Amino acid sequence: MKEYQFQFTKGKDVALVLIACFICFITIIYIGVKLGIDKSLLIVIEIALMFFVFRLLKKKAVSNCTAKLNGSSVDFEFQNNSKIINFRDLISFKAYYGKNGPILYLKTNDENFKISANNNFCKTDDFCRFCVDTIAQLDNYKKTGKTDLIHEGSIFATKAMLYFLIATTLIYLVAFFFETKALRIAIGIAGGLYFGIMWTRYFFETNKKT
């Protein structure tokens, strides 16, 4: 059994912090306009206060967890409760490493358990390491025992992503052929690089073994 300690975030707590920051932003603008503060000075005040408020509130969205992983289960010990997920009860699993941090999904007949760490609010290295080890342990469990267990791909492996890529690629091609020569060069380089990365990621994810 291996033990991990990491920070994680809850979606509702992150949303509350962002809403609080937005309200603060609107309030600062309102007060600044009422007091007749110079626009340039008001922008500086807004940036400084928003940075301070975000740094102050973001701790509210961060929680700590201790997880214990072995060959047949994972045990989560949160600050106020604990949870054990047995691999034999799982239907599917996946880890998604997005721009805002890693997310782990463990699905059973009764629950679609999700835990994530937003890199704008907390350190994600420890949680990312836990996700990698958990996925490796589950892949091994799938090979040696529960062969019907599904290792799902990321969002890039879904049909919705395929339809999105087809539609946006067609729009890109139409824009490319109908623009001026100068714009074609810019569109060709930027768009070609973007769609090259997106399609490569899609084929990589869809060709993973489940």
The Cα–Cα gap between 166 and 9 comes to 34
3-state secondary structure 88-128: HHEEEEEEEEECCEEEEEEEECCCEEEEECCCCCCCCHHHH
* Distance from C-alpha of 109 to C-alpha of 7, rounded to nearest angstrom: 27
| Strand-pair partners of 165 | none
Reported as a single tens digit per residue, the pLDDT across 59-95 is: 899 999 999 999 899 999 998 899 999 999 999 999 8
**What percentage of the chain reaches a pLDDT higher than 70?**
88
Domain chopping of the chain, boundaries: 16-59, 61-152, 156-206
pLDDT tens digits, residue range 113-149? 999 999 999 999 999 999 999 999 999 998 887 678 8
CA dihedral 32, 33, 39, 42 (to 10 degrees): 10
Question: In this predicted model, what pLDDT tens digit does every residue of 38-63 receive, in sequence order?
Answer: 878 888 888 888 888 888 899 899 99
Q: Are 132 and 95 in contact (CB under 8 A)?
A: yes
CATH number of the structural domain 61-152: 2.30.29.30
